[in-house]
Amino acid sequence: MASLTTDSAGRRRIQFTAKDNARKTLYLGTMPKKMAESVLVRVEQLVSSSVSGHPVDDATSRWVRDLDAKLFDKLVGVGLVPAREIAKLGPFIDAYIADRPNLRPNTLRNFKTARKALIEYFGCDRPLRNINPGECDEWRQSLVQVDYAEATISKWVKQARQFFKLAHRKGLVDSNPFQDIKSGSQRNETRLEFIDRARIEKVLDACPTAEWRLIVALARFGGLRTPSETLALKWSEIDWANSRMTVPSPKTEHQHKPYRVVPIFPELRPYLEDAHALADKKAVYAIRGYRDDTQNLRTQFERIIRRARVRPWQRLFHNLRASRQTELADQFPLHVVTDWIGNSPDIAERHYLKTTDEHFRKAIEGQNVLDEVSATQNPTQQIPAGNEVGQKTQKASSSEDEALLALAISCEQDAIEKIPPRGVEPRFSD
């Protein structure tokens, strides 16, 4: 069906008879014979598929998909494979996002910002195949020069890698040009802040309604994600008798964790009770307002913080939730805390837990206490505690005791000096 030949210059070519009985030649150029023979096997499979009308086997399909552009174009030239689709950056990412209608709002927003960063540098109509790793390095460096935060750059690089991973799986690119591009850390210490009790109490006092106080308390004292979990919480899911509440968790629903059970902490309970007492008896959700997607919790919360006259902070609701996790991590095992908060120990350590001034205070006061205890227990210690003679000296509490102790020490030392040095084994005479 197909034959491999080599000319006098060492150039290899494959000749075959096409579906229309035309004799065609695939020019391979110079290459090792074994490599040319492996190409011959695949060409025979493609010719057979073309003649019979049956699809090629999976191995040949993968081989064609992974071919470099030069050999692939030669196969296109002799009619063995159709030309590859010329996918362009902007339309491809748009289709990628459109195929995922159930994306969470934050994820959708992140994809769109990553798309914008890519389009601004490469252009909307840039063919995917024309983007190479070197240009990807330059794109990342351009983001650094614009002074984007490392966490932002890391997120965009990971999302670009995700886009091109699908493009590679679809055969639209030969390889993922972002595969080896350094992403960096997505932890941004400058945006992570512990909101202490004094500041949050002022904010709670400035809240205009019981419902707003509950919104803030659920984030700061309950550790709920806001707005998704806060707005999804129902009164029917509050177990007053056992001080527990079942919190719906849209973010982890795809991980087969649609909800979690959280204690009604003592700090949280008064705000739940106040809101419940004022709620309509037929009310389903704990938070009645802000159920419209066009309403923005953040804008109103910023007004409340300004009214409270406290120093504002970034990531308004995330830092309330992170502050609660930091407090709980000081009291309970981390696996328990992450079960209540709804994240993993790794995520908690990278994006939630924060060293606070209280940690420093406890560390410093704890050291002072140890120093005081040590000074009280060993006021006259001059000889190491492991030395029995030294221990006896420490126990002396009067001049008479000291005199008797001195005599005992003298006898003890004389006895020790009279004993000749030797090992533990018994001595034998020759």
378 falls within a domain:
no
pLDDT in tens, 18-71: 888 889 999 999 999 999 999 999 999 999 998 888 888 889 988 988 888 889
Q: How many CA atoms lie within 13 A of 272 on its CB side?
A: 24
pTM of the shown model: 0.56
412 falls within a domain:
no
Phi first, then psi: what are they for 6, rounded to 5°?
-135, 130
Q: What share of the chain is helix, strand, coil (3-state, %, to 5)?
A: 55, 10, 35
Does 126 share its domain with 258? no
Q: Which one of 186, 204, 232 terminates a domain?
A: 186
411 falls within a domain:
no
Does 40 share its domain with 179? no
282 falls within a domain:
yes
- For residue 144, which of 156, 161, 126 has the smallest C-alpha distance? 156
Q: Which one of 327, 357, 387 terminates a domain?
A: 357
Per-residue pLDDT, averaged over 275-287, amounts to 94
Quick one: pLDDT at residue 186?
59
Question: The domain that contains 96 carries what CATH number?
Answer: 1.10.150.130
Does 325 share its domain with 223? yes
Query: How many distinct structural domains can be found in the chain?
Result: 3
Does 145 share its domain with 244? no
Quick one: pLDDT at residue 368?
58
Does 145 share its domain with 225? no
How far apart (Å, rounded) are the C-alpha atoms in residues 241 and 386? 57
Q: Which one of 77, 97, 113 terminates a domain?
A: 77
Does 220 share its domain with 256? yes
Task: Report CA Rg, the chain.
Answer: 37
Cross-strand partners of 16? 2, 24
Cross-strand partners of 12? 6, 29
Question: The domain that contains 320 carries what CATH number?
Answer: 1.10.443.10
Higher pLDDT, 359 or 234: 234
Does 69 share its domain with 108? no
220 neighbors 320 (Cβ within 8 angstroms): yes
pLDDT in tens, 313-325: 999 999 999 999 9
pLDDT in tens, 210-259: 999 999 999 999 999 999 999 999 999 999 999 999 999 988 877 778 99
Q: Predicted confidence band at 396 (pLDDT cuts at 50, 70, 90)?
A: very low
Does 141 share its domain with 273? no
- State the residue range of the domain holding 283: 191-357
Q: Strand 23-29 relative to strand 2-6: parallel, antiparallel, unpaired?
A: unpaired
Does 56 share its domain with 136? no
Q: What percent of the chain has pLDDT over 90?
A: 57
